[in-house]
Structure 1
C-alpha cells in the first residue's frame, strides 16, 4: 500500500500511518492484480446517516484502466444504505468523482493545519 501511495506522490504515509488509518476505517475496497495491491479506497461511516470516502488511490502504473471507478463503485455499494456520502477530491480529480454522481456541496466547510493544504482547498486559503 505504501508503494501505491508513493507512486502518486503521497510520500508522507509511513507503514504505521497506513495501518492506523485503515484500521480506523470501517469500509475498505482493495484492487488486487496478481496478488499485488494496485489500488484502494476507504471510508468512515456512522452506519446510518453519514459517510466520508478517503484515499481513493490507484498505482500510477495501473491508472486509466477503470480501477479507480471500480473502487468508488464498490465503496458506494457498501454504503448504499447511507443517506449522505461525502468526499474531498484532490485538485484536478473533481470530474472523476462527478462521473460517479458526486456534486459540489453548498455548505461544505473544512479546517486545515497545513498552510499548503489550506491554500489548495480552502476559499481564502488561510490555515487555522
Structure 2
C-alpha cells in the first residue's frame, strides 16, 4: 500500500456520509446517517483508519473502562479489504481497551478466524437476544 495511512479518533459531521458508504459497501444497508451518528456518539471507543485523509475503515466499542468492553463494528470498505486495514483498526481498538478485564465481540458470519488471530476465543456462557428474526436465525443456536 503506497498511500499514506493515518488514524483519527474523532467523528466529524461530514464523515457520516463516508461511513454510510463504507457500511453499504459491505451490504449493511440499514445504516443511515442518523443511525451512524447515534451509534458512534454512543460508543466509548472508536478508531477511523484513513488513506490520504479519507476514512476507509473503522472499529468501535462500548466499555465501562474497567471490567467489560464489547466490540461492535470492524468494517472496511470493500475496495480496501485484504490490505491490513481491519488489522490496523482492531489493533488500535484493542490497545485502547488494554486495561479492560474482558473484551467481547460478535463476529459476522465467516470472520471468526480473523478474530482468533488476535486471541479471541469462543465463550462457554455467551448468550444474546436478537430482536430481528433474520439475525437471530444467523447467530443463535
Alignment TM-score, normalising by the size of structure 1? 0.95
1:11 maps to 2:63: no
Alpha-carbon distance in structure 1 between the residues aligned to 2:44 and 2:136: 27
* 1:16-42, Cα deviation, whole Å (9 max, x unpaired): 000000000010011001121100010
Q: Summarize deviations over 1:69-107 as a string: whole Å, max 9, x none.
A: 111100000000001000000000000000111000000
TM superposition outliers: structure 1 runs of 4+ over 4 Å: none
TM-score by length of 2: 0.86
Unaligned ranges ≥5, structure 2: 1-18
Q: Does 1:23 align with 2:41?
A: yes
What secondary structure is seen at the aligned counterpart in 2 of 1:22?
helix
RMSD between superposed Cα atoms in Å:
0.5
- The residue number in structure 1 matching 2:50 is 32
Choose from 52, 60, 64 the match for 2:82: 64
Distance (whole Å) between structure 1 residues aligned to residue 54 and residue 21 of structure 2: 10
| 1:113 equivalent in alignment to 2:131 | yes
Distance 2:132 2:69 in 1: 24
> Within 1, Cα distance between the matches of 2:33 and 2:27?
15
Instruction: Provide the rounded CA distance (Å) in 1 between the counterparts of 2:97 and 2:132.
Output: 30
Aligned pair count reads 123
What is the rounded CA distance, in whole Å, between the counterparts of 1:13 and 1:59 in structure 2? Answer: 14
Q: Which runs of 5+ in 1 are unaligned?
A: 124-128
Taking the aligned partners of 2:132 and 2:42, their CA distance within structure 1 comes to 22
